[in-house]
Amino acid sequence: MMVRNEYASQLTACVKDNRVHVKAKPNARKTAINKIEDGVVYIDVAAPPEDGKANDEIERFLSKATGKRASIKSGFTGKEKTILLS
């Protein structure tokens, strides 16, 4: 799990009020930021969207990328999510 340098500064710029908006694409080959557009972070997730596996992977990935604890606040069952960083 790595954030490419081109996205590292953009990722921190997307954090507003300790929240980041994410659009997830599950069942990817690896977990990575695909793009950042209009303040939304598009993440390819290397986990299936079942039993919370993709959500757990997103939280782990964003925690490692930001150095903060990440927890999903909305969008538990959809592709669009709001993540709280603390």
Give the CATH number, domain containing residue 13: 3.30.1200.10
| N-term to C-term CA, the chain | 20
Instruction: Give the ranges where the chain is alpha helix by DSSP (H).
Output: 5-14, 53-66
Q: Which of these, 63, 26, 57, lies nearest to 44 by C-alpha position? A: 26
Instruction: Lowest mean pLDDT of 2-6, 27-31, 52-56, name the range.
Output: 2-6
The tokens of 72 are what? 């999903």
Query: Distance between CA atoms of 76 and 54, rounded to whole angstroms?
Result: 10
Query: pTM for the full model?
Result: 0.90
- Mean pLDDT rounded to a whole number for the chain: 91
**Structurally, how many domains does the chain consist of?**
1
Domain that holds residue 16: 5-85
Q: What is the pLDDT of residues 43-82, one digit of tens each?
A: 999 999 999 999 999 999 999 888 899 999 999 999 999 9
